[in-house]
């Protein structure tokens, strides 16, 4: 039986920093990334997760334009996440099939619309910190806050004010048993896109909420639930570094749980970049996973690729 790997796409796997997020750009990036994932197929059954930050941002911009010009009502954030799960899943599905055709590999690719349950009392709801959508002037932000009840915070780089939403901890992944079964049968599954569609249970009913779940942590929770052997977090650097972009920067080949926790506590990893990935890696390894590899897509298939977080 092949080993089972969860591969979480992020960084330039979907959209690069200098790009606008056009269809042509995204499909080119996804095609390059799936070419690399194809290198795993001889040895692994694969589950693919992905981010959606820029894509949701574009949908929110479209919402804004539609509201101003045509008085079209905004779609809630959970609905926007669902939209991007479908659109990005489609790109991954199509490109993965093209890669397998060239490899003469016969597997199904299945994209699952995935809800992720969070706690309605999660502290993130009382202190939203995750910025989403366009930048506003202070006056416009105050006006929108008054009319919608949304919260806004000033950007640290002085680019304006942005809406902030909760980033609650993922608790359970909908249909995760099915993900495990389908993956073990050799199907390639795309799931927890954008961290999953955030939902809560209230009075026996499920409903969506205005939140963004961390993609890497949701991927780690999925990897633990399906008992994956390995968890890959793809980003835009080849390895994890300490003293990143300083004269004494150092690439790390292997980190134990204890070492990673110490460096995290020392503030070696940025909260907007590597720290969430390290926390996701720790969650996986501390809950039964063998190892987590943090690297960029181009390194896949190399036995010594990336930084490996181990027990």
Any catalytic annotation for residue 277? yes
Nearest by Cα to 164 from 216, 218, 210, 106: 210
DSSP assigned state of 298: G
Any catalytic annotation for residue 121? no
The catalytic residue among 10, 45, 57, 215 is 215
The catalytic residue among 163, 180, 239, 277 is 277
Q: What torsion, rounded to 10 degrees, do the Cα atoms 225, 117, 33, 58 define?
A: 180
Any catalytic annotation for residue 272? no
The catalytic residue among 10, 29, 130, 133 is 130
* CA pair distance 12, 172, nearest whole angstrom: 28
* CA pair distance 204, 192, nearest whole angstrom: 23
Judge contact between 281 and 294, C-beta under 8 A.
yes
Three-state DSSP string of 12-34 = HHCCCCCCCCCHHHHHHHHHHHH
Any catalytic annotation for residue 215? yes
Any catalytic annotation for residue 130? yes
The catalytic residue among 10, 12, 57, 239 is 12
User: CA-based angle 280:109:23, to the nearest 5?
Assistant: 80
Integer CA distances (angstroms), 23 to 42, 88, 202, 273, 291, in order: 30, 10, 38, 25, 34
What residues are annotated to the active site?
11-12, 130, 215, 277
């Amino acid at each position: 039986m092949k080993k089972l790997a969860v591969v979480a796409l992020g960084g330039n796997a979907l959209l690069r920093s200098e790009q606008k997020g056009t269809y042509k750009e995204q499909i080119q990036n996804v095609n390059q990334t799936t070419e690399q994932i194809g290198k795993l197929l001889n040895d692994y059954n694969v589950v693919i997760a992905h981010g959606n930050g820029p894509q949701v941002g574009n949908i929110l911009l479209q919402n804004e334009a539609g509201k101003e010009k045509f008085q079209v009502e905004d779609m809630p954030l959970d609905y926007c996440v669902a939209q991007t799960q479908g659109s990005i899943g489609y790109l991954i599905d199509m490109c993965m099939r093209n890669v397998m055709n060239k490899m003469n590999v016969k597997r199904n690719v299945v994209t699952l619309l995935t809800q992720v349950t969070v706690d309605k009392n999660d502290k993130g709801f009382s202190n939203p910190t995750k910025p989403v959508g366009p930048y506003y002037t202070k006056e416009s932000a105050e006006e929108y806050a008054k009319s919608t009840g949304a919260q806004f915070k000033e950007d640290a780089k002085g680019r304006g004010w942005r809406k902030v939403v909760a980033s609650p901890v993922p608790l359970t992944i909908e249909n995760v048993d099915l993900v495990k079964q389908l993956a073990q049968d050799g199907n390639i599954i795309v799931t927890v896109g954008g961290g999953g569609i955030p939902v809560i249970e209230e009075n026996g009913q499920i409903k969506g909420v205005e939140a963004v779940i961390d993609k890497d942590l949701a991927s780690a929770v999925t990897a633990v639930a399906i008992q994956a052997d390995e968890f890959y977090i793809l980003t835009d650097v080849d390895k994890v570094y300490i003293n990143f972009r300083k004269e004494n920067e150092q690439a790390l080949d292997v980190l134990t749980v204890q070492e990673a926790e110490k460096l995290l506590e020392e503030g070696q990893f940025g909260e907007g970049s590597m720290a969430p990935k390290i926390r996701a890696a720790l969650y996986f390894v501390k809950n039964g996973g063998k190892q987590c590899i943090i690297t960029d897509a181009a390194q896949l298939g190399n036995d010594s690729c990336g930084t490996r977080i181990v027990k």
